[in-house]
Every structure is written in C-alpha cells, then in structure tokens.
Amino acid sequence: MANQFDVIILGGGPAGYVCAIRAAQLGLNTAVVEREKLGGVCVNIGCIPSKALLHSAYVANLIRHDAKELGITVEGVKLDFGTAMRRSRQVSEQNSKGVEFLMKKHKVTVVRDTGTLLPGKKVQAGKETLAASKAVVLATGTRVKGLPQAGLELNQTSVISSDEALLLEQAPKSLAVIGAGAVGCEFADIFNAFGTQVTLIEILPRILPLEDAEASATIARSFKKRGIEPLAGAKVTGAKVTPKKVTLEIEVDGKARTLEVEQVLVGVGRALNLENLGLEAAGVKLTDRGFVQVDKNLKTTADGVYCIGDIAGPPMLAHKGSREGIFVAELIAGKQPHPIRYDNVPSVTYCHPEVASIGLTEDQCQERKLEYQVGKFPLTASGRARASNETEGFVKIIRDKKYGEILGAHIVASHASEMIHELAVARENEYTVEEVELTVHAHPTLSEAVAEAALDSLGRVLHL
C-alpha cells in the first residue's frame, strides 16, 4: 500500500525531521506529515533567522563601539534594517530547502497536510489515511502567544510576537519587550543595535532568571551600557493599545510607571500545538501542565505512539528535541539508544556577550544543600579576549567539593555558545575538573579560560 509506512512523524521541525532522518538511516520506511515549511519554527521563524539578525547587530555594534580603537576609521555608516531582515529570510529559505533535500536524500515521504492521530497507529492527513506498522511519533511543536491578562493580545501591528518581529520591514523607534528570557534578551539586543529605544520588562527579580545570578547581572550591566533599559521585578498591570502605539501601566518595586512605545513584543512563553490532534480519542493523555505524558522512553499512554520535542516537556529547545528524535528512532528500530541526560542539555542566549550553561546554578546547589566549590576566571585576564577587545564575561565551573564532579558550568563570553560544549562533554562522561585541566588547551584561545576556571576550583589558577 502507498500509505503504509514503518514510522509516521507528525511535524517537520528539529525534533520531527531529525527523527525521520535517523529512522530512514536505520532502514525504516518513514513519512513526515507537515503543513508548513520543513524545519519548523527554528529554521523558518525562530532560531536561524534571529541568529542572522543577531550577527548583523553584532557587526553594527563592532563598527559603532570598537572600530576606532581597533585602528579602523569608518565614515558615513548607515544601518539598513530592511537589508538585514532580507538576508535573515534568505538564510531561513536556504536552511529550509536544505531540510527538503535531506528528506529526498534519505527517501523520507513528506505529506503536505494537517495530520490527526487515529487509533491503531494511523494518521489522517487531509483525505488520506496513513498507517504505521511500528510507530507514530508526535512532534508538533509550539506557537507564539500573547498576554491577554495584561491586555496584550497579539494584533500583528503594535503588539507583536517573535514571529512578526522576524518579518518587520523597519525597526520601530521604541519597543517594550515583555519577558527577559532568552528570546526577550536576543530581540532587545537586535533592535537596540538598529537604533530602537528598548525597554526590557521581566516580572521575576532579574533578567535571564533561569541563568546563574552572576551571568544575569553581567548581561544587565552590558545592556544598560548600550542604552537598553532592563526592568526586573516589573509587572504590566494594564495596557491601552492602538494600531500605532501602546501605553503600558507598569508596577516596578511597588511603584507605578507609565511607558508609551511604538510596539510591544511579547516573549513570555509559547503555546503547545495539541489542538485537533485527536489525542483523547487515540488514548494519549496529558500531564497536569498540559504536556503530552511520556515515560522515560518517550512513549505516550497510547500503544505505539511516541512524543518528542517541545510538546513532550521542558527544556523546550531545538537541540533537545533533535536528540529525542534520534533516541526514539533508534528505539523504534530495536536499538538501545544512549539515555538523554536532560540536566546536561546546554542552554544558550545569543545576545552579546552570549550566555551558555549546563547543570546546576549556585542557588540550586545551595537549595539542595550540596557541598561544592566554585572556580571562576574573568575574561579580562584572557590574552585572546584582550586581543579581540571582548573582555566582558567569565567562565564559572561549579564542582563537587569532595570528588571533583562537574555540577554546573556557566559562561558569559562573545563565543560562549561554542565554549560550553567542552564542559558538556566532560559532564556527560563524568570527567572531573582535574581531567578538564589536564587537557592541553591551545594558546591563545578563549577556551583557555575553561581550563583556568577548572584550576581555580582546585585553588591552582595560573593567570590570575
């Protein structure tokens, strides 16, 4: 039968398409049901285009703040937001076409329609009924949402989400970003670089509230220096919305404040794509928090149905979803996949400087009453950081006091996203800080700061 497959995957984002590739590699006849462009939010309207814009922002700031000191005189600098945006869209298109190519290369059938789960490992895709002999995998991801309780319903003009922000033709003169997590901080960085007056509003006591407190404080200082106003411990109590401006009523530290801006960008989480999937009829249950209920092998409560990515629960990160896709594909193929260590999934915020982390923060170690030792190395002491004129930040390693096991690692640096993986590999393989330090690090590199932080946790730092 043409509609008979070994595996059917609902969703072609980072979790779904990676699962499809791995399943096909293992000899499984695989189909992906996807109504939008392949690559999901990440490739088309999230991770990839935002990083393209962040690179434009980085270059703009480099020219504006560092060029003269580096011996480069630049006259008549003009920032063109429209051109930067068009480039970001081109990058997205290239990546999405790349995913299409991979589907063809691995002979994965792509069904362009909306999929609904049916009992008995079947999927309704438009007028077609598809059947899976081995498994159906749910990977439908998430979508943006507004903040209706504060009077901020998305209207695509003055109240926007990250979706609309990645399609704007020009930067607004003023912008309030609601939510200072990774998404909020990244967009604050982008628009500030292109001349927008940005106010960053976070209800919790500090921006980047899930990161180490020192990392959050470093980014807050960096933002203030560049003219971004971070308001932590701030609550939006009301909003007057018109098509061309928004007036916000804010409570900060018990004091009322009014803020008028051209646009508001709401970045306070995402909604799960679970509606009209046929979950209840197929026997798939949800958790109290609304995620799909899964066991340690990502199996749902329905026979032969798995779930991966954002809808399977936090952390809601593309790379976590991709790893789950590989895990499930191997499980379906009869392999014994390496267990996913969720506390070792790197978290990265791509503002400048970047923030990257794995494992526990100091606060979490204290809450758990763990005996720990901290090693820290500031980039002001790094020869490579000085040479690059990028000395904002540090490397911080938290180790078990007795055995040297890495409990957590936190990096603020221009290339923190590239530096964190050395420590993720070490922690995944239960290496100690001694083993990190024993590895020879090339000189001069930012990665030397990792070795120095490891040494500092042992009381043997060299260049400080």
Contact 54, 23 (CB under 8 A): no
Alpha-carbon distances of 220 from 5, 123, 192, 206, rounded to whole Å: 51, 48, 14, 8
- CA–CA separation, 323 and 315 (whole Å): 12
Q: Is 69 helix (H, G, I), strand (E, B) or coil?
A: coil
Considering the candidates 338, 441, 443, 463, report the single residue annotated as catalytic: 443
Alpha-carbon distances of 409 from 208, 347, 371, 450, 457, rounded to whole Å: 16, 11, 16, 9, 12
- CA–CA separation, 96 and 48 (whole Å): 10
Asked if 338 is an active-site residue, the reply is no
- CA–CA separation, 53 and 102 (whole Å): 25
CB atoms within 10 A of CB 2: 7
Question: 178 — alpha (psi -120 to 50), left (phi > 0) or beta?
Answer: beta
**Closest to 212 in 3D by CA, of 458, 407, 445:** 407
Q: 390 is written with which tokens?
A: 């990028």
Helices and strands, counts by H and E, the chain: 14, 22
Contact 136, 306 (CB under 8 A): yes
Half-sphere exposure of 298 (CA within 13 A, CB side): 32
Residue holding tokens 């704007």?
A: 168
**Closest to 44 in 3D by CA, of 158, 163, 159, 134:** 163
122-125 and 255-261 beta bridge pairing = unpaired
CB-based contacts of 148, cutoff 8 Å, min separation 6: none
Say if residue 205 is preceded by a cis peptide, omega within 30 of 0. no
Q: List, by residue number, the catalytic residues.
A: 443
